Structure 1
């Protein structure tokens, strides 16, 4: 199982890395993460790679609180579409429940559970892989961002009653106390934030529940994250094709493995990387070519071809006619040819 996370999780990573004296590009290479993941927040990268990056960064810089430094700079922007439904809920409690429902869209390996007992609410966080694989830094980044999201829902300063981490304490706890605004318990049985039940009833003055309902209906359409390897590769191909960097090596970087693993996993799914790439190119090509005003040079770039001539050769081999022929009214014939190909 390769869990993926939106590269938005690394928003502000480069500046935090530089502020503690390390080279962000060198650290990304060491963690075997693609350098371009810092430029596009919607790309999917391996959770294991992000965990490795955070732990290596903390070790190289000596900043035990590296994950919290990154969490401190984050906010709703790191959640992508999930932020839209969270911040438009009527109450803080409803917002956190929405976050728990849709956090898998941001991070496939993360789960939140909300436990209400008497006048206390516990927001417990679970990272797939358990404490053996979820590192200190990734745990503190994830729970730190949950804390920051809650705090941003209040017009005034907010602080929880307690914060718990299952891992051992750092040498110095000053940064942790300042970040959370309360005592932090380490070597606990769980990773969680504990707060007053009344905090969850607080109304969000800027909320628009009607908008939240609409956005939530659209987010539901995203559905569960793909689990099968061919679906994960297909999703990455769609995202990477327009950038002209859709190679099997790049896909392997995003999935945190090597090209041999990709070939083997796709064989188990009865397909190949070339077949997936060609199918996705064909689907996108048909939509782009329908637009008679779109230049062929632009189409070639969006489909990942280095030259317009390469696009022309591929199109004729795939659809049995030229792009001009397709635009000239041979669509039905060429679609039938593509189906037989």
Structure 2
């Protein structure tokens, strides 16, 4: 099973725009089960649900984090990420899960996953810190546009614990669990599900594990496949470094749309650039900022128009227009008809 599925996960990393869609495995159904309107959650978050159909596709990381936060808010489930993480089996993690499963021991599995996690998810720190008798597995998103990321942190530590419990049993208790965010209202649930002491307001999101617990063999260890995968990943890493700059700008534009008209200076500042540098780099790809904003709006509009539960006036706000008339003019330019005509 591992051999037959791994090739597509390797190929996926070549076009990873932020995080592989495997990270959102089962997300649509989980949102529905928690009582939220999945189309509304995706719409507000700027995510095309078709990108979730295959683990070989990818999402912009800010949009991925945002969809988790929106799901928590609109479902009324404050611990949404915590619960969502519990459902993940290691194979559902895609590329990074298979790296762990093929490793010889649990310790090397976690070390390999930490080393290559950036191929599964960009702008992210993962590392194993030696604390003497323990390892501390750290996880932290380091993307300047992502300020709210609690749901992702709780989801990711839950996914990693499922890899560990695949070997050590469903009730295995780590030494400690750390989270960056402030203690939530229903924090007792965290202690129960992780079966450990949980600390909040910490420097990193972390799992602290006794080294002696990690010497167990992985039940699906495959040294030959692991060697092939790691050699291929080193080559694929070079491909990822050539990602188009416009993809990063598009991600920030999508985040800005819900606040109104995206502004070049604001997006440039979020990317740590001067506005003229952003404009110059887009020009090398044959683009300008206004054209990119229009392109993003058009793509999102094509998705929103099929969601009957999103009204035309709400669609205008989601696309950053203060008036429906501005949306109608844009629709006529894009599609030749106004939104109501296209919807009917």
Alignment match of 1:30 (pick from 15, 22, 44): 44
Structure 1 residues 225 and 164, CA gap change in structure 2 (3 angstroms): farther
- Which consecutive segments of 4 or more residues in structure 1 shift more than 4 A? 251-255, 257-266
* Structure 1 unaligned blocks of 5 or more: 237-250, 274-341
Alignment match of 2:73 (pick from 44, 52, 59): 59
- 8 A contact 1:119–1:196 mirrored in 2: yes
1:194 aligns with 2:208: yes
Alignment match of 2:101 (pick from 63, 87, 97): 87
- 8 A contact 1:34–1:254 mirrored in 2: no
Structure 1 residues 156 and 53, CA gap change in structure 2 (3 angstroms): closer
Return the offset for 1:33: 1.0
Alignment match of 2:184 (pick from 170, 173, 181): 170
Q: Structure 2: how far apart are the matches of 1:228 and 1:192?
A: 31
Return the offset for 1:123: 0.8
- 8 A contact 1:33–1:254 mirrored in 2: no
Structure 1 residues 114 and 267, CA gap change in structure 2 (3 angstroms): closer
Aligned to 1:153, the other structure's residue is in SS state helix
Larger Rg: 1
Q: Structure 2: how far apart are the matches of 1:56 and 1:156?
A: 29
Alignment match of 2:232 (pick from 214, 218, 234): 218
Q: Structure 1: how far apart are the matches of 2:218 and 2:54?
A: 30
Q: Which moved more, 1:178-187 or 1:130-139?
A: 130-139
- 8 A contact 1:120–1:195 mirrored in 2: yes
Note the alpha carbon deviations across 1:168-224, whole angstroms, 9 max, x for none: 111112321222111211122321111111022222243122322222222222115
Q: Structure 2: how far apart are the matches of 1:217 and 1:255?
A: 36
Alignment match of 1:271 (pick from 275, 282, 286): 286
- 8 A contact 2:17–2:58 mirrored in 1: no
Return the offset for 1:81: 2.5
Who is 2:159 aligned against? 145
1:70 aligns with 2:67: no
Structure 1 residues 146 and 254, CA gap change in structure 2 (3 angstroms): farther
Structure 1 residues 28 and 9, CA gap change in structure 2 (3 angstroms): same
Who is 1:331 aligned against? none
Return the offset for 1:229: 5.5
* Structure 2 unaligned blocks of 5 or more: 1-15, 268-277, 289-344
Aligned to 1:129, the other structure's residue is in SS state coil
Who is 2:198 aligned against? 184
Q: Name the count of aligned residue pairs.
A: 256
Structure 1 residues 270 and 131, CA gap change in structure 2 (3 angstroms): closer
Structure 1 residues 270 and 208, CA gap change in structure 2 (3 angstroms): closer
Aligned to 1:166, the other structure's residue is in SS state coil
Q: Structure 1: how far apart are the matches of 2:133 and 2:198?
A: 20
Note the alpha carbon deviations across 1:314-338, whole angstroms, 9 max, x for none: xxxxxxxxxxxxxxxxxxxxxxxxx
- 8 A contact 1:46–1:256 mirrored in 2: no
Q: TM-score, normalised by structure 1?
A: 0.66
Aligned to 1:133, the other structure's residue is in SS state coil
Structure 1 residues 232 and 151, CA gap change in structure 2 (3 angstroms): farther
Structure 1 residues 124 and 145, CA gap change in structure 2 (3 angstroms): same
- 8 A contact 1:29–1:35 mirrored in 2: no
Q: Structure 1: how far apart are the matches of 2:108 and 2:163?
A: 13
Q: TM-score, normalised by structure 2?
A: 0.66
Return the offset for 1:94: 0.4
